[in-house]
Structure 1
Amino acid sequence: MGRVWKARDRMLQRDVAVKEIVPPPGLTDQARQELRLRSLREARAIARLDHVNAVKVYDVLLGADGDPQIVMEYVPSRSLHDAITADGPVPPRRAAEIGLAVLGALRAAHRAGIAHRDVKPANILIGIDGRIVLTDFGLATAVEDVNLTLTGVVLGSPAYVSPERAMRGTVGPEGDLWSLGATLFAAVEGQSPYARPSSMMSLTALATEPPPPARHAGPLTPVIEGLLRKDPAERIDADTAERLLRAVLAGPATALPPAPIPTRAPAPTSAPTPAPAPIPALTPDPAPAALDAAEPSASVRRRRRSWLVAALSVLLPLGLVIGIPLAGHRAPRTTSDADLVGPPESSGPSTEATYSAPPAADGSRPLTWSVYRDSSGFTVPAPRDWRIVRRDRQVEFHEPGGERMLTVGPVDTPGGDPVGVLTSQEKDPAIGGRLRGYHRVEIAAVNYQLRAADWEWVHTGAGGIVLHVRQRVFTTSTQQSYRIVWTTPDADWPANADAFQRVTAGFRPAAPPASGGLATLTPGGTGAPKSSMTPTRSGYQLVGAASGRCLDISDPASPDPVALRIWDCRDDRGRNQLWTFGSDRSVRLGGRCLDVLNASSDEGAAIQLTTCNTTPAQQFTLNDRRQLVNAHSGMCLAVVGAGTANGASIEQRACASGAPHQQWSRR
């Protein structure tokens, strides 16, 4: 019932998406007017939402025939449907990430009194910058105004429509949750639970068959089973779904207990859903009670029979009116200058994990997490109830009765390449005495903070247990560096490796010192910084791999916009060549930002330096292939014509693997 176009807003110089409403053929004038009202309702519905995972609406235009055209943000992306079609089903953990983002958008909509009514993979966008967006609220209607439904038409996708909506026309938050469950099923299985050759066959299966098992869901199984319960009164609510999805992301990839059957009555669908109560931050929620596998009670059997009779009574007329849119105890502390302050706040939408997963297959205890705030100012996710020991500036978290350990703390600032620093540490003759049976896994640069490298190895611990260790050394400013070390028994490493990612994703450094000389990291040392009389450089040179020359501007005093080029790297050209990387993903020089000319998504658009405005056209990520990728266009910063001579200009090009004119190193 609509077409979406990519367009250019010439006034604001940005790409937008324009949804053109295409009325179905044969509509009466009254029905056409109802459709126009519905489209305006869509615009109002989206405009009321303010959520990172919900598409934004900018304006509504009226065509010559009076049909509205809705102007929305353009998200460079592909849909989850396209991803499944091209690449196959996604892993359960990735499906949980997508589900959590969509659930956040739905909860925001439900709090505003809006039901989406068409949650499905085709309406979930996966941005090139990783953002997940729920779009096409074209079927959304204010829950308190259910009289706007087009006469004689039940809109929706039969493979994802909820049972109560298909059979009774009931619209509400519970129906959106059912559709989310069907979407998660499709994500891990490759198709919806009721995918059939025709709409009628899908609806017949929905009415007469139980949901099929999700054989590849793994730890997502309780979420999918709970969301796909046909009776809304037995379906899990948004709070439970969120807790279970977070448990999948926080815990090992093992099956969780079935979700409990709610004892609440379903919320009325004629009023907005109240804002959910916050999940307690410091007390782990108990694991959901397992369902009894015995024979269903008589009342449950009666409910199922009544559902079947109701389904059969409405199925035939529904076939004529379905419209398919086109589109334990706390260990004592041994330190007094730190605190555990609650779940982490920074990995994805939120990283709180208050659900205790079952024991992992390797026998290690599951982890629940809190945020540790150190007196020096840094914060980091840490396993709750582990013993805290301070050694000089390092903080150690020891597993009670186990071998796992997390170490976090500042180190002396590296003056050069972290890979070189770690390699020098490895060559220290004392390593062999401290790490019995040492064997390197790898030392490699990683894309983290300003500069970083990982050193991973195995060695035999004091008790004869083979330990697996990963240490990350990284720079957060010109005067600050840290290390994070994660240690587990080698046999348990596969089940515990994700914990290291959780810690590094949630780490936040202390505020950098206001002034001071540049310090130097001495291999193997963690003592106090050694002061230097060398003035601190406020930034990094970006050196092209093909040319060996630096990203440069000819005159820092030039007015906006300033053209970019490559030029010989020189210490006396700091005002022309020293770039800084902001937390908002901006790349700055002299208070101005790298920018794509006119916020263009076209290949060959110039890259310039101009006034900072925090838009995606000014957001760049240096990936692990050393490419600077623009968040708006998804293209890479490149030298025009793959040039290597002084003065060669800079543009954006489609990212190509192994293209040296697109590769940059910070120095």
Structure 2
Amino acid sequence: MSDLIAERYRLVGTLGEGGMGRVWQARDELLGRDVALKELILPRGLSAAEVAELRERAIREARSAARINHPHVVRIFDVVHAQDGPWIVMELVTSRSLYDMVREDGPMRPERVARIGLDVLSALRAAHRAGVLHRDVKPANVLLGIDGRVVLTDFGLATASGDSAMTSTGIVLGSPSYLAPERALDEGITPAADLWSLGATMYAAVEGRPPYDKSTPLATLAALATQPPRPPERAGVLGPALDGLLRKNPAERIGPDEAERLLREAAEGKPAPAAASAPTSTVTPPAPTAKIRKGRARYWAAAAAVLVIGAGIAARPMLTTARAEEVPDRSPIAGQQQSASPSARLEATASPAAAVNHTVPGAHPSGGNTPVTHGGRPSSAAAGGNTGNIAQPQLATTTSPPPAAVGSPVSNFATGDCLQLDAGSGRIVLWTCNGSDVQKFDFPADKTMRVRGLCVELLGTDDGARLGTSGCTGAAAQQWNYNTSYDLVNLMVTKCTDVPDTSSADGTPAQVWECAGTSNQKWHR
């Protein structure tokens, strides 16, 4: 720590990391007040020019925020120029971030999200009037004070209107899941880009995950430029505001006045009419045969431009203010042996559900191994998983129909794919969500997890152990807990259900791993 900081400020503890820095709680010994100190932390491998640029960006954060006098914008008190870089002295807001609140407490009611959105929109309007674009609006940068105050913080990427979405060195800035499409394409940005990010932030608060959240930053950017957002399921009265804010073409996106009107109606619980005058909503995917207007065609045919940006990601570190939002790659141990279990063999259970030749979505009509695709993705298996094109077992000893499907789909935060019973093997795999009966899971009071009348059980105890099914016996391996942090935990080993390597390939086997809090271990049901 710099001597200049130590002379005046006593560090109390860390508040977290983000925005190219670490934030500390500190005591200003001279004025006798608690403050937040932001210490600049630079990524490794940067040139001297890049270091100078990012240090200037930290100073720009202080200047940008200092220009905005608004109750919903964090206040800047001072900047201390030390040998190890600038330290920004800010007001201390006793709070939890919107990201932490949703992660720990679950998705919020649409009315509450609308009220939070109104406060953030007010802060953005004040910033835009001052000529400042925030450029990194996301749940981690929205603080919810214990006194009810909503504060927009971390103006580390803020700059004057019209600046590029990339630095001169080609480093992509911001969190990919919350970038506006025009920023993903490195086009000129306007205040409309912050409004898109506000829409994505509210979407994440009400749905529990952002509208775009793929396994890698490059995949997220590609989806952002070429695909519609995932249709919301919980938005309710907030739907019209999300629909208007998440339009890919900034010329068709609603402005702040219309956004405020729709959010006020949503906050009051009023079923608002659809947002003004876009011929096609980007929240609801267009029909495959629909014609794309020329004004937005470039947002649906821009994969090449995204790949150009992706080259910058591959060559240099992604600079993002996300804390736990980034998913680290964790591969299972190569060649790991799974413990044998009778539950892996449906023949031994004589279960009615196992005796029926279920059709797995994507299986070739002939039952052969002809490759098929789902949503543009090849039906390939990962880590030895099943592709779904598996010949069904010949069990001709019963004609009993399977029990009626009950429950609901269980989808992964990171990939958006659903758990599915592979009827040929009895294993649990990941597949594109389609609402089929083999994707409907029930969680009765006995702590089992059931699909088509079978109980899901763990087929081993080590990290990477797979999930299978068998008749329900009450064994510990069949005990599961879906907690308030969206973890799906096996109670025999207290490990979390996990998507290996955050793979989005159909047929990827579900497994368990030590709980790490990453999005490939988080589930919706």
Q: What does residue 275 of structure 1 align with?
A: none
Q: What does residue 124 of structure 2 align with?
A: 106
Match of 1:126, SS? strand
- 2:299 pairs, out of 298, 307, 312, with 307
Q: What does residue 58 of structure 2 align with?
A: 39
Q: How far apart are the structure 2 equivalents of 1:144 and 1:194?
A: 25
- 1:52 pairs, out of 71, 74, 99, with 71
Alpha carbons 2:165, 2:188 under 8 Å: kept = no
Higher CA-based Rg: 1
1:50-96 alpha-carbon deviations (Å, 9 max, x no partner): 1100000000011213x211111010000000000110000001001
Q: How far apart are the structure 1 equivalents of 2:310 and 2:91?
A: 36
Q: Decide whether aligned partners of structure 1 residues 188 and 292 sit closer, same or farther in structure 2, where only a CA change above 3 A counts.
A: closer
Match of 1:154, SS? coil
| C-alpha deviation, 1:121, in angstroms | 0.4
Alpha carbons 2:163, 2:188 under 8 Å: kept = no
Q: How far apart are the structure 1 equivalents of 2:165 and 2:248?
A: 24
Q: What does residue 319 of structure 1 align with?
A: 310
Q: Decide whether aligned partners of structure 1 residues 306 and 148 sit closer, same or farther in structure 2, where only a CA change above 3 A counts.
A: closer
Q: How far apart are the structure 1 equivalents of 2:257 and 2:128?
A: 13
| C-alpha deviation, 1:28, in angstroms | 1.2
Q: How far apart are the structure 2 equivalents of 1:304 and 1:107?
A: 26
Task: Give 1:83's aligned amino acid.
Answer: M
Q: Decide whether aligned partners of structure 1 residues 44 and 297 sit closer, same or farther in structure 2, where only a CA change above 3 A counts.
A: farther
Q: What does residue 154 of structure 2 align with?
A: 136
Match of 1:133, SS? strand
Q: How far apart are the structure 2 equivalents of 1:148 and 1:313?
A: 17
Alpha carbons 1:92, 1:219 under 8 Å: kept = yes
Match of 1:15, SS? strand
Q: What does residue 124 of structure 1 align with?
A: 142
Alpha carbons 1:41, 1:141 under 8 Å: kept = yes
Where do 5+ consecutive residues of structure 2 fail to align? 1-19, 323-525
Task: Give 1:249's aligned amino acid.
Answer: A
Task: Give 1:90's aligned amino acid.
Answer: M
Does the alignment pair 1:222 with 2:240?
Answer: yes
Q: How far apart are the structure 1 equivalents of 2:221 and 2:171?
A: 15
Q: What does residue 255 of structure 1 align with?
A: 271
Q: How far apart are the structure 2 equivalents of 1:218 and 1:73?
A: 35
Q: How far apart are the structure 2 equivalents of 1:57 and 1:314?
A: 37
Alpha carbons 2:40, 2:87 under 8 Å: kept = yes
Task: Give 1:86's aligned amino acid.
Answer: E
Q: How far apart are the structure 2 equivalents of 1:221 and 1:144?
A: 30
Q: How does 1:243-392 map to 2 (within 5 A)?
A: 243-250=261-268, 253-261=269-277, 300-309=292-301, 311-322=302-313, 323-327=318-322
Q: What does residue 590 of structure 1 align with?
A: none
| C-alpha deviation, 1:29, in angstroms | 1.2
Q: Decide whether aligned partners of structure 1 residues 203 and 2 sit closer, same or farther in structure 2, where only a CA change above 3 A counts.
A: same
Match of 1:234, SS? coil
Q: How far apart are the structure 1 equivalents of 2:311 and 2:36?
A: 33
Q: How far apart are the structure 1 equivalents of 2:284 and 2:248?
A: 18
Could you say what the CA RMSD is over the residues aligned between the two structures, in angstroms? 2.6
Q: How far apart are the structure 1 equivalents of 2:44 and 2:126?
A: 34
Alpha carbons 1:89, 1:187 under 8 Å: kept = yes
Task: Give 1:48's aligned amino acid.
Answer: R
| C-alpha deviation, 1:42, in angstroms | 1.0
Q: How far apart are the structure 1 equivalents of 2:96 and 2:257?
A: 29
Alpha carbons 1:35, 1:150 under 8 Å: kept = no
Match of 1:139, SS? coil
Quote the sequence identity (%): 53
Alpha carbons 1:2, 1:325 under 8 Å: kept = no
Alpha carbons 2:231, 2:284 under 8 Å: kept = no
| C-alpha deviation, 1:245, in angstroms | 0.7
Q: How far apart are the structure 1 equivalents of 2:114 and 2:46?
A: 41
Q: Decide whether aligned partners of structure 1 residues 262 and 61 sit closer, same or farther in structure 2, where only a CA change above 3 A counts.
A: farther
Match of 1:168, SS? coil
Alpha carbons 2:238, 2:263 under 8 Å: kept = yes
Where do 5+ consecutive residues of structure 1 fail to align? 264-290, 328-667
Q: What does residue 31 of structure 2 align with?
A: 12
Q: Decide whether aligned partners of structure 1 residues 307 and 63 sit closer, same or farther in structure 2, where only a CA change above 3 A counts.
A: same
Q: What does residue 495 of structure 1 align with?
A: none
Match of 1:159, SS? helix
Alpha carbons 1:34, 1:148 under 8 Å: kept = no
Q: Decide whether aligned partners of structure 1 residues 109 and 296 sit closer, same or farther in structure 2, where only a CA change above 3 A counts.
A: farther
Q: How far apart are the structure 2 equivalents of 1:94 and 1:240?
A: 19
Q: Decide whether aligned partners of structure 1 residues 144 and 168 sit closer, same or farther in structure 2, where only a CA change above 3 A counts.
A: closer
Task: Give 1:108's aligned amino acid.
Answer: A
Alpha carbons 2:165, 2:186 under 8 Å: kept = no
Q: Decide whether aligned partners of structure 1 residues 95 and 303 sit closer, same or farther in structure 2, where only a CA change above 3 A counts.
A: same
Q: How does 1:552-567 map to 2 (within 5 A)?
A: none
Match of 1:18, SS? strand
Task: Give 2:319's aligned amino acid.
Answer: I
Does the alignment pair 1:192 with 2:206?
Answer: no
1:166-193 alpha-carbon deviations (Å, 9 max, x no partner): 1124332111000000011101100000
Normalised by the length of structure 2, the TM-score is 0.53
Task: Give 1:55's aligned amino acid.
Answer: V
| C-alpha deviation, 1:133, in angstroms | 0.3
Q: Decide whether aligned partners of structure 1 residues 144 and 211 sit closer, same or farther in structure 2, where only a CA change above 3 A counts.
A: closer
Q: What does residue 392 of structure 2 align with?
A: none
Alpha carbons 2:162, 2:190 under 8 Å: kept = no
Q: How far apart are the structure 1 equivalents of 2:284 and 2:175?
A: 33
| C-alpha deviation, 1:308, in angstroms | 2.4
Q: What does residue 330 of structure 2 align with?
A: none
Q: What does residue 482 of structure 1 align with?
A: none
Higher relative contact order (CA 8 A, sep 6+): 2
Q: What does residue 81 of structure 2 align with?
A: 62
Alpha carbons 2:180, 2:197 under 8 Å: kept = yes
Q: Decide whether aligned partners of structure 1 residues 224 and 148 sit closer, same or farther in structure 2, where only a CA change above 3 A counts.
A: closer
1:120-178 alpha-carbon deviations (Å, 9 max, x no partner): 00000000111000000011012255599342112010000000001124332111000
Match of 2:37, SS? strand
Match of 1:138, SS? coil
| C-alpha deviation, 1:326, in angstroms | 4.3
Normalized per residue, which structure has more strand?
1
Q: How far apart are the structure 2 equivalents of 1:35 and 1:97?
A: 34
Alpha carbons 2:62, 2:79 under 8 Å: kept = yes
Alpha carbons 1:88, 1:190 under 8 Å: kept = yes
Match of 2:87, SS? strand
Q: How far apart are the structure 1 equivalents of 2:166 and 2:204?
A: 30
Q: How far apart are the structure 2 equivalents of 1:137 and 1:34?
A: 15
Q: How far apart are the structure 2 equivalents of 1:303 and 1:207?
A: 14
Q: Decide whether aligned partners of structure 1 residues 192 and 110 sit closer, same or farther in structure 2, where only a CA change above 3 A counts.
A: same
| C-alpha deviation, 1:17, in angstroms | 0.8
Q: What does residue 76 of structure 1 align with?
A: 94
Q: How far apart are the structure 2 equivalents of 1:257 and 1:246?
A: 13
1:511-557 alpha-carbon deviations (Å, 9 max, x no partner): xxxxxxxxxxxxxxxxxxxxxxxxxxxxxxxxxxxxxxxxxxxxxxx
Q: Decide whether aligned partners of structure 1 residues 215 and 58 sit closer, same or farther in structure 2, where only a CA change above 3 A counts.
A: same
Normalised by the length of structure 1, the TM-score is 0.42
Alpha carbons 2:107, 2:205 under 8 Å: kept = yes
Q: Decide whether aligned partners of structure 1 residues 326 and 297 sit closer, same or farther in structure 2, where only a CA change above 3 A counts.
A: closer
Alpha carbons 1:117, 1:171 under 8 Å: kept = no
Q: How far apart are the structure 2 equivalents of 1:164 and 1:157?
A: 14
Q: Decide whether aligned partners of structure 1 residues 72 and 292 sit closer, same or farther in structure 2, where only a CA change above 3 A counts.
A: closer
| C-alpha deviation, 1:254, in angstroms | 4.8
